Structure 1
Amino acid sequence: MSETLQGAGRPVPAESSWTPVDGRLLDVEDLFVEFRTRDGVAKAINGVSFSLDEGETLAVLGESGSGKSVTAQAIMGILDSPPGFITGGRIRYCGTDLLGLTEKQRREVRGPEISMIFQDALSSLNPVFPVGWQIAEMLRVHRGANRSDAREGAIRLMERVNIPAARQRVNAFPHQFSGGMRQRIMIAMAIALDPAVLIADEPTTALDVTVQAQIMALLAELQEERRMGLILITHDLGVVADVADRIAVMYAGRLVETADVHPIYAAPAHPYTKGLLASIPRLDQKGQELSAIGGLPPNLTRIPPGCPFNPRCPYAQDVCRHDPPPPLIEVRPGRRSACHFTDRVLADSEVEFDHTHPGAQEEGR
């Protein structure tokens, strides 16, 4: 039984050979993923690169279809093949390329080292088994715990994620819990083996605002407590403002902007990020109209030439339609953007921020 189930921090199993390299847990390098369908090849991921350090929270943002969940599935090694194929790149965990491992070796990483919270708890939990049995299964299979110890471990994990009366509810079935409680059970399963990296895929989908805040606070607490690297996948920029260290914005399978959390909210450098931020309702402005990005994300089997965002972009010019997609380059220290007109977007963003936040200069923007 691991030390964490007895109340301590994240242990490193004696047999584990996984050691972060200079604090770096994960490196995704130039990742490409395709889905081969009857309608053609869908280019779901197109050269994505990012990293994750111990204790860091990286938020990956974008609309549905931008490639967030596919990136997570590629990291976990759970892409359905066919039709999904990783066609290029590397996924390094503690310096080792996971794409070079056998399936048996990947199973030794999946769960004990890198774990995932799936976005739909009701469909992810097995409806015919008690929730305690499903949590305990992780401990029986991966830690060799006997039934009694595994059950006690499941109860402690349920208590840790703040499920009331865990000992009495350990034999309850998923349908007997609310949506927020089911999401907590999913979190308990994900942390059962003390992973170093936790991927949370839309963990607050379909939850009300109060429960969203509770789930986000719990994830932040667990991340700090266990020094996990946390990848938080969401389409809602408002959810991650207080918990993320860095933000990566995706569109059409590409990263279009990366930055520390505060600068990106203060002055986005890419038109897509700017549009996402403008769509968030603001409590300090009464009667404002909700802004929306016109059009729809592209069909990934027919991504438009040039910058993929150009059909929806208010800054688009001929260079955006005909030249190759702009690379993700550093535009300021710690900030990268993939736009031909980053300077103009930043300047506009800063003017708008100054106008709507009169105290920005004093706050040290």
Structure 2
Amino acid sequence: MAQNVVEPDVTTGVRPLLSVRELRVEFATSGGVVTAVDGASFDVAAGETVALLGESGSGKSVTAQALLGIVPKPAGRVTGGSVSYDGRDLLAAGTAKSLRGREIAMVFQDPLSSLNPVFRVGTQIGEMFRRHRGASRKQARAEALELMKRVGIPAASKRLDDYPHQFSGGMRQRVMIAMALALSPKLLIADEPTTALDVTVQAQIMDLLTRLQAEEGMSLVLITHDLGVVADVADRVVLMYAGRVVETGPLREVYEHSAHPYTSGLMASVPVLDGPRDRLTPIQGAPPDLLALPAGCSFNPRCQYADSLCTTTQPNLTQLPTRPSTHQAACHHPKGAPTHAR
């Protein structure tokens, strides 16, 4: 495995809290080897919110699993790249496991399947304190109660002894957030935390996450396919397609001046409530079969600007010449580049 050598960020001179370089994750299937993450690279600074965006199957969740050392085995394994967290090699044996919960925590997509149905929620939250801090049952229960209050669960003292199925979807997600925050981690990974929730509850959960992030001073990696969810909370975005990073940069820069046709397509498919009522333009086609990726750029079968270069040569993630140094795209003809003719 490659050694982690993390240089300070060129724009700030500060070493990032999390640095991912050329991460590669593969799964052995009956049909062959699937490369779910293919050379992903990005950084997360202390206190920063970075959103991993893309359609289902783009490699977002597998990337998060690799960071935590929970890629499903024996089928899945990290086959390349490096991941550094606060100067420590997360891919080294035992490192990620030793940091889970204490310094890196995760909120999973489906709280009902993530919570144990046979244990009361207060017991499950309190277990974090008993296992990691040696707290007594009474101490753990008191800590669990305070956390439930902090994440906004009404009548928390009466709900400590309820089971997960007795909570609504939004309240279950608050329980998951309470568990994740129990040991005051420096980095929180939230994997589709608002999926299957209605718009009002989505907003409440995002407000909760951003408030708690500010209070704790932690970094947040937010995984989602919904560009609208992160529009007001992310500092930077990383767009993934077919396991590869295709565009990354400051949120406003990417949203207002998207360079990759995939990013532009995602933006065009998002409804804008306070804008003109234009017909939404979906991206034609579907994400590729990872067992039979097209030659060249993986997006070329769906791209209206693809030419012979796009169908033969895979583009690298490079700095856009007319954009800030932190805005990069993996496209032979990025929008806004001097050579791009539309």
Q: Quickly say closer, same or farther: Cα 1:140–1:345, change in 2 above 3 A.
A: same
Aligned to 1:42: 34
Residues of 1 paired with 2:65 and 2:125: CA distance?
Answer: 21
More helix by share: 1
Residue identity in the other structure for 1:100: A
- The one of 208, 233, 244 aligned to 1:243: 233
| 2:284 corresponds to 1:294 | yes
Aligned to 2:52: 60
Aligned to 1:8: none
What is the deviation of 1:288? 2.5
Residues of 2 paired with 1:129 and 1:346: CA distance?
Answer: 60
8 Å Cα contact 1:56-1:228 kept in structure 2: yes
What is the deviation of 1:345? 7.4
Aligned length: 328
What is the deviation of 1:71? 0.1
Residues of 1 paired with 2:243 and 2:231: CA distance?
Answer: 23
Residues of 2 paired with 1:182 and 1:144: CA distance?
Answer: 26
Residues of 2 paired with 1:75 and 1:117: CA distance?
Answer: 13
Query: 3-state DSSP class of the match of 2:91?
Result: helix
Query: 3-state DSSP class of the match of 1:171?
Result: coil
Query: 3-state DSSP class of the match of 1:321?
Result: coil
| 2:316 corresponds to 1:327 | yes
Query: 3-state DSSP class of the match of 2:310?
Result: helix
Query: 3-state DSSP class of the match of 1:258?
Result: strand
Deviations 1:60-97 (A, max 9, x none): 00000000000000001001121001000111111111
Within 5 Å, give how 1:39-118 maps onto structure 2.
Answer: 39-102=31-94, 105-118=95-108
Q: Quickly say closer, same or farther: Cα 1:139–1:48, change in 2 above 3 A.
A: same
4+ runs of 1 displaced by more than 6 Å?
Answer: 345-349
Structure 2 unpaired stretches of 5+? 1-7
What is the deviation of 1:344? 5.1
- TM-score relative to the length of structure 1: 0.87
- The one of 334, 339, 342 aligned to 2:334: 342
Aligned to 2:4: none
Structure 1 unpaired stretches of 5+? 1-19, 352-365
Within 5 Å, give how 1:1-365 maps onto structure 2.
Answer: 22=14, 24-102=16-94, 105-285=95-275, 287-323=277-313, 325-331=314-320, 332-333=323-324, 334-343=326-335
Aligned to 1:360: none
Residues of 2 paired with 1:118 and 1:307: CA distance?
Answer: 31
Residues of 2 paired with 1:177 and 1:81: CA distance?
Answer: 32
Residue identity in the other structure for 1:300: L
Query: 3-state DSSP class of the match of 1:64?
Result: coil
How big is the alpha-carbon RMSD for the aligned residues of Structure 1 and Structure 2?
A: 1.9
8 Å Cα contact 2:333-2:339 kept in structure 1: no
Residues of 2 paired with 1:162 and 1:348: CA distance?
Answer: 50
What is the deviation of 1:143? 1.0
8 Å Cα contact 2:25-2:80 kept in structure 1: yes
Residues of 2 paired with 1:193 and 1:284: CA distance?
Answer: 40
Residues of 2 paired with 1:200 and 1:34: CA distance?
Answer: 22
Query: 3-state DSSP class of the match of 2:28?
Result: strand
What is the deviation of 1:229? 0.8
- TM-score relative to the length of structure 2: 0.92
8 Å Cα contact 1:23-1:54 kept in structure 2: no
8 Å Cα contact 1:267-1:346 kept in structure 2: no
Residue identity in the other structure for 1:247: V
Residue identity in the other structure for 1:201: D
What is the deviation of 1:286? 5.2
Residue identity in the other structure for 1:157: L
Deviations 1:325-346 (A, max 9, x none): 1000010212000001114579
Residues of 2 paired with 1:347 and 1:201: CA distance?
Answer: 37
Residue identity in the other structure for 2:319: E
Residues of 2 paired with 1:129 and 1:311: CA distance?
Answer: 49
Query: 3-state DSSP class of the match of 1:85?
Result: strand
What is the deviation of 1:101? 2.9
What is the deviation of 1:149? 0.5
Deviations 1:262-288 (A, max 9, x none): 111111010000000000012234543
Query: 3-state DSSP class of the match of 1:257?
Result: strand
Residues of 1 paired with 2:115 and 2:217: CA distance?
Answer: 26
Aligned to 1:363: none
Residues of 1 paired with 2:58 and 2:195: CA distance?
Answer: 16
8 Å Cα contact 1:252-1:297 kept in structure 2: yes
